[in-house]
Amino acid sequence: MELETTSLKLIPLSLEQFARLLDSTASMERALGLSSSGMELDTETKAAMQSLYAMAQEHPACFWWYTNWQIVLKAQNRSVGSCCFMGGPDENGEVEIGYGIHAGDRGRGYMTEACGALATWAVSQPGVRAVKAETGRGNLSSQHVLRRNGFILTDETGQSRFWKLDAQRTAEAPDSR
């Protein structure tokens, strides 16, 4: 299964591909037949991904809620970033999305396109009523991605802002893809 937008492919990594990513990004890119991005996971991201990988192993029938989704720029067949969910739907039918884009690929609309496609896919899945996200208060770029995709600010703390996109708003969101 892959998702496609105008300029991107979103590929949910299989357990084998995910293990390769944790070993080295280059290994995962070779396995997918991608051009080299020259990127590697930073320590913090790798630790978070190892946790998700362990959960993906525990939930093979619905691994897409726990795996890394590579964002591939179709024109160059190159990974420009990734998205993931923090697990399957909770008791309220909500899933949390996270994402990151390579520094050299920021400001080109790729994350807006990818986040929109993945959020739309998520709310079309059984048992999912909303997608939520958390941003740092100062992360204006990430907040812009969410706003462009119809997410609504629902709460704020000292360091974070919390966002939500319900299934109904997904259908109403501006088409940024």
- 167 confidence band (pLDDT: 50, 70, 90): confident
Asked if the model's pLDDT at residue 125 lies above 60, the reply is yes
pLDDT value of residue 1:
85
Q: Are 28 and 11 in contact (CB under 8 A)?
A: no
Q: Are 37 and 102 in contact (CB under 8 A)?
A: yes
pLDDT value of residue 13:
96
Q: In sequence order, what are the residues at sequence separation of 6 or more whose Cβ sits closer than 8 angstroms to the Cβ of residue 176?
A: 109, 112, 113, 116, 148, 149
pLDDT value of residue 177:
38
Q: Give the start-to-end residue ranges of the domains of the chain.
A: 3-172
Superfamily of domain 3-172 in the CATH hierarchy: Gcn5-related N-acetyltransferase (GNAT) (3.40.630.30)
Give the Å distances, CA to CA, from 93 to 59, 99, 122, 151.
Answer: 17, 20, 10, 16
Tens of pLDDT, residue by residue over 6-27, are 999 999 999 999 999 999 999 9
Asked if the model's pLDDT at residue 150 lies above 70, the reply is yes
Number of alpha carbons in the 13 Å side-chain half-sphere of residue 88 = 12
